[in-house]
Homo-oligomer: A and B are copies of this chain.
Amino acid sequence: MNIIIDAMGGDNAPKEILLGAAAAVREYGVQITAVGRRRDIEACARENGIDMAGITVADASETIEMCDEPTAAIRGKKDSSMVVGLRMLAAGEGDAFVSAGSTGALLAGATLIVKRLRGVKRPAIGTVIPGAKQPYLLLDSGANVECRPEMLSAFATMGSVYMEKVMGRANPSVGLVNNGAEETKGTPAYVEAHRLLKYNKNIRFAGNVEPKDVPQGNVDVVVCDGFTGNVILKLTEGVAKMLVGEIKNVFMADLKSKLAYLMVKGGMKDFKKKLDADEHGGALMMGVTKPVIKAHGSSNAKAFKNAVRQAKLCVESGAVESMREKLAAVAQTEEAGA
């Protein structure tokens, strides 16, 4: 298996990206094609003693920056690491593409170069988020600020496939984010989405999930528009950060509390690990014809390695092919039901 990576994307590129890639070669036995400025990549590997066995470099002279307008960057920077990598993926020169670069550009590039699956109007970003019971998949976590009901139904179908095939959840459940359990709740688009999800035979619909219950992790797939998804993803991080900061203050108050911290250090580490999004790799661009994964912009080697593992799982499990089949089945049901 050959995973193509964007060696120039992200805050810590290329060093942490290459370190993560080298670790992935060792631990998962994958081949890596690292796309980016050959000179920079080789110099970085040399300076940091990174073992490049199993890693092939594909030269690309440009880099897409975080501030670039996404679609313009994809169309304009033809020799950027992201565009070259996505073209290699589309041409079958690798099995998946992983980048820690601009989310917007990666989404635009995946759509324009790798193309959408039939039945997908706009790809969604699917992110696995830590929950009390177990992690859950949130989609759309930020790609589309406005979503038509059919899009939410497609997200549910794809998210269910992902949780079953990649995360190994048997018969995953789907919840629609809404401000109440009743099917009449929410905007007209959410009322219609509820109806479509109810009749979507390829998913196990658990009904609306209220925001207070989302962090419980009782449903496997949490579906919403990208504006709401961005709020859920980022607010969860923000509230966690605030509370962890407050707890830290409690422990740092005096000598006694510092001693108390030492007594629960192990438990606190497990707690932090459970909250650590890096454990779950990156976000999948759901609805394109091949696996395209967005690693966190601030990825360190561990986070990037986990994103590569996630790419490997996507390839091995045939998740994208399953999504293609299920989406076709939904399209038939909707045509028959219309």
Contacts and interface: CB of A to CB of B under 8 A. Distances in A.
Interface of A: 131-132, 142, 145-146, 177, 179, 185-187, 190, 210-216, 226-228, 230-247, 249-251, 253, 256-257, 259-261, 263-264, 267-268, 270-271, 274-275
Contacts of A177: 231
Nearest to A131: B242
Nearest to A253: B267
Nearest to A130: B242
Given A236-B239, A250-B271, A251-B264, 14 more contacts: A145-B179, A145-B187, A210-B234, A211-B238, A214-B235, A214-B238, A227-B228, A246-B271, A246-B274, A249-B271, A250-B264, A250-B268, A259-B263, A260-B264
A231 B239 CA distance: 13
Contacts of A212: 234-235, 237-238, 241
A133 to B, nearest CB: 9
A20 to B, nearest CB: 24
What is the total number of copies of this protein in its complex? Answer: 2
Contacts of A238: 211-216
A146 to B, nearest CB: 5
17 contacts: A132-B245, A145-B179, A145-B185, A145-B187, A212-B237, A214-B235, A227-B228, A228-B231, A231-B231, A235-B235, A243-B244, A246-B274, A249-B271, A250-B264, A250-B267, A257-B264, A260-B260
